[in-house]
Every structure is written in structure tokens, then in C-alpha cells.
Amino acid sequence: MEITRSIRFGLLIMTLLAMVGCGSTEQTKQTTDTSVEQPKRIEDPETVKFAVRGGKLTVDGESLDGLFYFDFDQSIIKREGHAELNTHAQALSQNSSWRVRLEGHADERGTREYNNALGERRANAVRGYLMSQGVSSAQIEVVSYGEERPAVQGSNERSWALNRRVQIVYR
């Protein structure tokens, strides 16, 4: 009886170890995706000229979009937005009198209340990212428009994807 119990216990342990060891047979692939915009390397941050024109940030005369897109029902900042967000953070850190409004948006799917909350979560995700890069919370205002201000009219995947966004507006 005791031997049978020990054998069962041993088999159980071996099965669990096999399951843990076989959790994934795929190897993680590291690729270089050339479609993702790489961060602008700023060799000497003091020589960069930041300016605000029409509510947008310009870097050495080049205007940044200030738009960050999200997946359906998500408030996680996509990796391709990090480079531009880093630039915004640098500009705001160097110009403490500048203020921004982070406008959160959602597509038309979902209730009005849910979309307002989702837009706010998205804007707060961008706020948190900027603050983690040294931007003062006093420089940032968060507002959610939910589904009320679509960038694109339409009820299809392309329109929805363009409406799931946070826009940085300099004031």
C-alpha cells in the first residue's frame, strides 16, 4: 500500500515536471522590424530646438503627430509609440512651463460610459509613461472624449483603429 502511494506520488511529480518543462516548444525570435520607427538619437540634448506650434510639438522644425493608437479594449501603450513619447517627455522636462492635455478616445463600440472610462485609462497610461520619464504631473491634464470625437467616420476596422487613440495637445 505504501509503495503504491509512493509510486503514484512519484508519477504525479514527474508529470508535473514534464508539463512545466514542455510549456512552450517555440523559441523566442528576436527580429528587427524596420517598419517600427526607431527613436531619434539625440547626441547632445542641449542642441535640440523644441517649439510648440498649433498645439503640436516641433523638434528642429519637424512637427510630431502626438497621436498614440491602442488595440481594441486596451489601454497599453504600443511599443512603436515609445520613441515619440520619449521625445515629448524630453521636451516637457526641459520646458517646465509647458502644459499638455492628453485627450483619450475610443471607437464607437461599447456604451458611452464604458468608452469614456476607456479613453481616460488610455490617457492615464500616457500620463504615467511621461511621468516615469521625469515629466511633472503639474504639466499634464487628462481628459476623455470616449467615442464623442472620432478622427474618422465609419463602422469598420480601419475607422475603429484610427479612433482608438490618445492625442497630445500642447497649450
Convert the pLDDT of each residue in 102-111 to its tens digit: 999 999 999 9
Residue 27 has pLDDT above 50, yes or no: no
For 93-98, which contacts have Cβ atoms below 8 Å and span 24 or more sequence positions? 93/133, 93/134, 93/135, 94/45, 94/50, 95/50, 96/136, 96/139, 98/52, 98/139, 98/170
Q: Mind listing the pLDDT tens digit for each residue in 64-89?
A: 999 999 999 999 999 999 999 999 99
- What single-letter amino acid sits at 10? G
Do residues 70 and 121 touch, judged by C-beta distance below 8 A?
no
Residue 44: pLDDT band (50, 70, 90) is: low
Question: What is the 3-class SS of 11-58, one letter each residue?
Answer: HHHHHHHHHHHCCCCCCCCCCCCCCCCCCCCCCCHHHCCEEEECCEEE
Mean pLDDT comparison of 3-12, 24-33, 147-156, highest-scoring range: 147-156
- CA distances 139 to 69, 77, 89, 100, 135, Å, are 22, 20, 11, 6, 7
Mean pLDDT estimate for the chain? 83
User: Is pLDDT of 62 > 90?
Assistant: yes
Whether 26 has a pLDDT exceeding 90, the answer reads no
The model's confidence at residue 33, banded by pLDDT at 50, 70 and 90, is very low
How far is Cα 6 from Cα 16, in angstroms, rounded to an integer? 15
Grid cell locating 138 = 503639474
Question: Residue 48's pLDDT band (boundaries 50, 70, 90)?
Answer: confident
pLDDT of 23 above 70: no
The domains of the chain, with CATH numbers, are 44-170 (3.30.1330.60)
